[in-house]
Amino acid sequence: MWLARVHHGLNDAAREADAWESYVGLGTAPAEACPALPEAYARAGKPSDTLRAYERCTTFAPNDAEAVIDLGDAYARERRWHDACAQYTRAAELDPDNPLPAARLSGVESCKLQDGSQ
């Protein structure tokens, strides 16, 4: 984990992502790599790796509403509206007092209308 933070400080996103992957591979506490791992991939300009990392983060901590919201945000960036809505709905179920999932759902609905998609 410390090596990933060093690479983050050096603004080397690709090596930071590699270090986080190594940390996750150790399997001791992979959830600690989230959301740093997908964010490192995003800074490295790797959208498909970013999305896969967010998906993995929800497997490490399936009841973490923030991780589920992050995955919804990643789907929304890829214009995968149905998947984004599903994750925001799930996050709302996990943390009913959190207003963020409802706000994100509203935003996705607006984007779907602008795109002409359903």
Average pLDDT in the chain: 89
What residue spans define the domains of the chain? 1-46, 62-118
How large a percentage of the chain has pLDDT more than 70? 92
**Is the pLDDT at 118 greater than 90, yes or no?**
no
> What SS3 string covers 48-110?
HHHHHHHHHHHHHCCCCHHHHHHHHHHHHHCCCHHHHHHHHHHHHHHCCCCCHHHHHHHHHHH
Q: Is the pLDDT of residue 10 over 80?
A: yes
CATH superfamily for domain 62-118: Tetratricopeptide repeat domain (1.25.40.10)
pLDDT computed for residue 83 by the predictor: 94
Statement: residue 21 has pLDDT above 90: no
What span, in angstroms and rounded, lies between the C-alpha atoms of 97 and 56? 25
Amino acid type, 52: R
Please say if the pLDDT value at position 86 is more than 90.
yes
For residue 13, the model assigns a pLDDT of: 92
Q: Provide the whole-model pTM.
A: 0.82
pLDDT above 70 (res 33)? yes
